[in-house]
Amino acid sequence: MKKFLSLLAVSAMLLTGCSSTSTATTTTTAPAEATTEAATGKEVKVGVSIYKFDDNFMTLYRNEIENYFGTLKDGNTYNVTIQDGKGDQAEQTNQIDNFIAQDYDVLIINREPSEEDMKAYDGTDYQGMYTYVGADARQSGKFQGEIVADLADKGDLNGDGTLQYVMIQGDPENVDAQYRTEFSISQYEEVSGLKTEQLDMQRGDWDQAKGQEIAANDLTKFGDKVEVIFCNNDAMALGAAQAITAAGRTVGKDIYLLGVDALTDALSMIADGTMTGTVFNDHLNQAHTAVDCAVKAVNGEKLDAYYWVDYVKVTTDNVAD
Ligand code: GAL
């Protein structure tokens, strides 16, 4: 049997392999309801490679992958091994090489490949055996920009016709960070008709402590000039919120704060007004679609190149939902 699959959720690629240093292995045997199913039930080795376990959003995603495999009732046995890349590319590559060497059937790997890489298998025997499951980060950026443009004052607290903002980026090599940074601002300008001035942009690597440090420095340096802090994710926005409070500023009154992901803490803050808005990064749908694709691939069905999952804008208007 030719094995060469892969999926992604929030980014992925597929191959074959196996792992030795597993961090989490779950075996799920789906009860077969008919004898015929039991006879056809397969043992499926699934390798999941997460760039870093210590990441709030990726934790929600990976837990849901594991949970959802556990709900499958198709007669197959899914042995799911989830590994922690620890934020180290060499480490993650090594783990993936091991999955392949150990003849895993399906890989779920996180990070969106470039379009060029996605096309590399077009026209080969592997076409339809790899896919990307994820959200289009351009949409999340646009939604952030629209949330600010839709505020009564369009975020322009000082009324000078220009939005002065700080951008706290995730990992700048990650397409999610690149698109959110770019599209939040271009969409803001388009919808509001106002100009923008970037006071600062720093990489916060998706990390709360870094978000706090960057925001604290910028609030000291630029003071009341800062009208909006855009964060590429909620973890960094939670950090920025701590810095905003420490600087004696008040979200919704003299500053605005945006994130992405819709972490539980961010939702509570939107409900109580200490954060302006976020964008729901649908880990449930992304995890379920990735697993559904894995199952299809195992059953020999061809996959599309992309399966997109929508983001959802979250403000005080709909946070209760
Ligand atoms: C993003 C998410 C971030 C972080 C990142 C990791 O989609 O919004 O919080 O998890 O993925 O690549």
Q: Quick one: pLDDT band at residue 179, thresholds 50, 70, 90?
A: very high
**In this predicted model, what pLDDT tens digit does every residue of 35-86 receive, in sequence order?**
334 446 899 999 999 999 999 999 999 999 999 999 999 999 999 999 999 9
**In this predicted model, what pLDDT tens digit does every residue of 185-213 receive, in sequence order?**
999 999 999 999 999 999 999 999 999 99
- Write the DSSP assignment of 273-289 as a string of letters: TSS-BEEE--HHHHHHH
Decide: 92 in ligand 1 pocket, CB within 6 A.
no
CA of 10 to the centre of ligand 1 (A): 8
3-class SS shares of the chain: helix, strand, coil, % to 5: 40, 25, 35
Vertex 187 angle, CA 183 and 188, to 5°: 115
In terms of average pLDDT, the best of 21-25, 38-42, 177-181, 296-300 is 177-181
**In this predicted model, what pLDDT tens digit does every residue of 289-314 receive, in sequence order?**
999 999 999 999 999 999 999 999 99
Q: Please state the φ and ψ torsions of residue 88, each to the nearest 5 degrees.
A: -125, 115
Mean pLDDT of 215-233: 98
Mean pLDDT of 170-184: 96
- How far is 15 from 3, CA to CA, in rounded Å? 8
What does the mean pLDDT of the chain come to?
90
153 pLDDT exceeds 70? Answer: yes
CA of 215 to the centre of ligand 1 (A): 19
Percent of the chain whose predicted confidence (pLDDT) is above 70? 88
Decide: 286 in ligand 1 pocket, CB within 6 A.
no
Q: Which atom of ligand 1 lies closest to the CA of 140? A: 8
Exposure on the CB side of residue 67, measured as CA atoms within 13 A: 13
Q: What is the DSSP letter of 157?
A: T
pLDDT in the model for residue 113: 86
Amino acid found at 247 = A
119 pLDDT exceeds 80? Answer: yes
Decide: 55 in ligand 1 pocket, CB within 6 A.
yes
- How far is 4 from 1, CA to CA, in rounded Å? 10
Mean pLDDT of 14-43: 46
Decide: 176 in ligand 1 pocket, CB within 6 A.
yes
Q: Which atom of ligand 1 lies closest to the CA of 235? A: 9
Decide: 261 in ligand 1 pocket, CB within 6 A.
yes
216 pLDDT exceeds 80? Answer: yes
CA of 181 to the centre of ligand 1 (A): 13
30 pLDDT exceeds 80? Answer: no
Name residue 84's beta-bridge partners: 50
45 vs 28, higher pLDDT: 45
- For residue 191, give both structure tokens: 């919808």
Q: Which of 84, 136, 183, 206 has most ligand 1 atoms within 8 Å of CB, for mutation? A: 206
Contacts of residue 5, Cβ cutoff 8 Å, sequence gap at least 6: 14, 15, 16, 105, 106, 107, 129, 130, 294, 297, 298
**In this predicted model, what pLDDT tens digit does every residue of 122-150 receive, in sequence order?**
999 889 999 999 999 999 999 999 999 99
Contacts of residue 118, Cβ cutoff 8 Å, sequence gap at least 6: 130, 132, 305, 306
CA of 136 to the centre of ligand 1 (A): 12
pLDDT in the model for residue 27: 53
Decide: 10 in ligand 1 pocket, CB within 6 A.
yes
Q: Which atom of ligand 1 lies closest to the CA of 174? A: 12
CA of 233 to the centre of ligand 1 (A): 7
pLDDT in the model for residue 40: 64
Q: Quick one: pLDDT band at residue 18, thresholds 50, 70, 90?
A: very low
